[in-house]
Amino acid sequence: MIEFKQAVKTFRLGKREVTAVNDVSLSVAQGEIFGIIGFSGAGKSTLLRLVNMLERPTTGSIQVQGVDLATLSQKDLRKLRRRIGMIFQNFNLFSSRTVAGNVAYPLKLAGGAKKEVTERVAELLDFVGLSDKANDYPEQLSGGQKQRVGIARALATSPDILICDEATSALDPDTTADILRLLKKVNKELGITILLITHEMHVIQEICDRVAVMEDGEVIETGTVFDTFTNPQHSTTQRFIQSVQQDRPSDALLKEWRSKGGRKLYRVIFKGEVASDPVLSRLTQKYGVNFNIVYGSIRELQEKFFGNLLVSFDGEEESVNLLIAALKETVEIEEVEVHES
């Protein structure tokens, strides 16, 4: 659907050359919600704008639905842009037009007949739940409502792709959840492929199928959201994940645990099916070891269980070692280090 091939984008800032996107190769499949996460300045916003050529790549290529964008004339490019809806962090609504006028705008650009435009606008406003606001002006709306208008406007020309530039970053948590539900509905009901960028890991966790992590213009990790959350490879990815799920207590608490004679802590990770098997209790009984869950959680991630527990074992050292070896066959287990700082 969308294919980045060794895409590079450099900007000239005075005499300095800045590489915003550095050799990115990515492919987004039809029908999925693909998230790109990175801290600000990671280049994700530039990367997103390569998809509809608001920015042109310095080298490399971008293909959308098999068409290399560099080969398009200005006219064909404008046509293609109607197949790619875009929503923005600051909504970018036209303040001189009503809600209905904003949604109608792309249809008018495409040369729609007046009657069809009116019907389509009503349909779209109904889809985003703003039928009663048709004649209001953007300044009369709340942030969440503005983004709904933005979504309706982006969907007006029935695009195949929706690209979202930090679409929820200016919204409060409740409204963010509303907008994410709406995006999920856009994806599921209309079958629109979504490519979004964000700096918030919970957005990825909430709606994305796959994720790419960006740092300094490069994609440092790509994978399904489940794999990335359960087995992050890169330290930046780990930081993002810790922002949504604290997977260990604070070092202060861990030190206190140790100084009070607490035993070694092990992290046990369950994924998917394993979470329904009482493996911990079964094996500890077998080896005659008691276990104590000190910290952790079992949560749902992409409609699968994901457990992350800190456990201590009470028993003969040899038994504990045998137990850990046995556990390693079904779950992931590792000793938790306590940082002495």
Partner 1 sequence: MKVDWTTFWPRIVESTGETVLMVIATLIFGSILGISIGLLLYVTRKGNILEKQWVFQTLNMLINIIRPIPFIIFLVALSPITRAVVGSTIGTWAAIFPMTIAASFGIARIVENNLVGIDPGVVEAAKAMGASPFQIIFTVLIPEALGPLILGLTFVTISLIDFSAMAGTVGGGGLGHVAMTYGYQRFDGSVMLVTVVILIVLVQVAQWLGNTLSRKVMRR
Using CB under 8 A, list all residues that contact partner 1: 52, 54, 74, 78-82, 84, 86, 88, 90, 92-97, 105-106, 108-110, 137, 153, 157
For partner 1, give the closer residue by CB, 125 or 331. Answer: 125
For partner 1, give the closer residue by CB, 52 or 230. Answer: 52
Amino acid at residue number 22:
N
The CB-of-294 to partner 1 minimum distance in angstroms stands at 49
- CA nearest neighbour of 128 among 109, 145, 113: 145
> Going along 65-182, which residue ranges are E strands?
67-68, 84-88, 161-165
Helix, coil or strand: residue 37: strand
d(CA 181, CA 130): 15
303: left (phi over 0), alpha (psi -120 to 50) or beta: left
For partner 1, give the closer residue by CB, 194 or 204. Answer: 194
For partner 1, give the closer residue by CB, 86 or 333. Answer: 86
The CB-of-53 to partner 1 minimum distance in angstroms stands at 9
d(CA 97, CA 131): 16
State the pairing for strand pair 218-224/210-215: antiparallel
Neighbours of 278 (CB within 10 A): 9
For partner 1, give the closer residue by CB, 16 or 260. Answer: 16
State the pairing for strand pair 59-64/16-28: unpaired
The CB-of-86 to partner 1 minimum distance in angstroms stands at 4
The CB-of-242 to partner 1 minimum distance in angstroms stands at 32
The CB-of-129 to partner 1 minimum distance in angstroms stands at 21
Residue with tokens 């303040």: 95
The CB-of-122 to partner 1 minimum distance in angstroms stands at 19
Rounded alpha-carbon distances, angstroms, from residue 123 to 6, 97, 127, 205, 212: 40, 18, 6, 30, 34
For partner 1, give the closer residue by CB, 17 or 277. Answer: 17
The CB-of-46 to partner 1 minimum distance in angstroms stands at 13
For partner 1, give the closer residue by CB, 76 or 277. Answer: 76
For partner 1, give the closer residue by CB, 88 or 305. Answer: 88
Rounded alpha-carbon distances, angstroms, from residue 99 to 1, 38, 62, 63, 165: 31, 32, 33, 33, 20
The CB-of-52 to partner 1 minimum distance in angstroms stands at 6
Q: Which residues of 87-117 are buried (b: 16+ CB within 10 A; e: fewer)?
A: bbbebebeeeebbbbbbbbbbeeeebeeeeb
- CA nearest neighbour of 211 among 241, 182, 190, 186: 241
